[in-house]
Amino acid sequence: MDKYYIFARSINETMATYNKRGYKPKTKKEKEVVEEILDSESTTAEVFSTLDEGANKTEEWVSKNQNIILYIIGGIAVAALAYWAYTQFVVAPKSQEAVSEMTQANIYYNDALTATGEVQDSLYTLALEGGEGKYGFLKIIEEYSGTDAANLANYQAGMAYLNLGGTNYQNAIDHLTEYKGGDSVLESIALAGIGDALIQVNQTGDAISFYMQAAETNANEFTSPKYLLKAANAALITGDNATAIKALETIESTYGDSDEATTAKVLLGQAQAAGN
């Protein structure tokens, strides 16, 4: 508040100097100026008085409630410390344990990717349920919820169910939906996997948006045209020509050198004709 008082005092001193010297305004204009200064001085004093009262009230409130304020600050500090301790001494060791426990399930899953027929189905089942005294993906998800390992296990479980097919498509949708991969390639594959599973359970219309999302997530010349073509095919099946045309035009304009470009050009002509 000191600077306000200094300013006000300077005004007072200036006016006092004029008064001591017996200064009298000689013209109407000078008289108006002096009156304006006097009015300004009065208003400034009122403003400073109000500010001073507000500051005093704030100081009184802080003084009266300082214990509550200290409790709040202390609570925030304790919460931050608790979160740090939880992260360092609970989550970190739990994550390391989950990764170790998941090793055997990963071996089954990776072997299944190159296997065929009943052998492949058996390996995917072992990856899901566990073997060799180690947890499968389902147990990892249950026991290590919140860890990166559990998140990855949701992706792998979803893809395993998708490959097993039959009555497992809803399980694939559930686990792939739980997977959070950000803007990664795995996220785009998971979204496309949900689309594939929805096609299998006769929800073709719902699959379109997942294919489109998959194409936009971590867009690249390899996966994006594939997912755009899937979206276009699903859209054509449901009669959504506008979406089909949009997806096919994107392939033609952005991914013209892809393997899907030739097929997209043919389908685009069909979609445009149907739209007319």
User: What value does the mean pLDDT take over residues 165-172?
Assistant: 97
Determine the pLDDT at residue 96.
82
How is the chain split into domains, by residue range? 2-64, 104-275
Q: Decide which of 89 and 74 is more confident.
A: 74
Region 174-182: mean pLDDT is: 96
CB 217 within 8 A of CB 183: yes
Could you tell me the pLDDT band of residue 256, with boundaries at 50, 70 and 90? Answer: very high
Mean pLDDT within 243-270:
95
Q: Is residue 83's pLDDT more than 80?
A: no
- The pLDDT, as a whole number, for residue 100 is 86
Contact 184, 218 (CB under 8 A): yes
pTM of the model: 0.68
Mean pLDDT value across the chain: 81
What's domain 104-275's superfamily in CATH? Tetratricopeptide repeat domain (1.25.40.10)
Q: Given a cut of 50, is residue 20 above it in pLDDT? A: no
Closest CA to 204 of 171, 238, 174, 248: 238
d(CA 117, CA 27): 109
Sorting pLDDT into bands at 50, 70 and 90, what band is 11? Answer: very low
Is 86 or 187 the better-scoring residue by pLDDT?
187
Question: Is the per-residue pLDDT at 22 higher than 60?
Answer: no
Selected residue with higher pLDDT from 229 and 1: 229
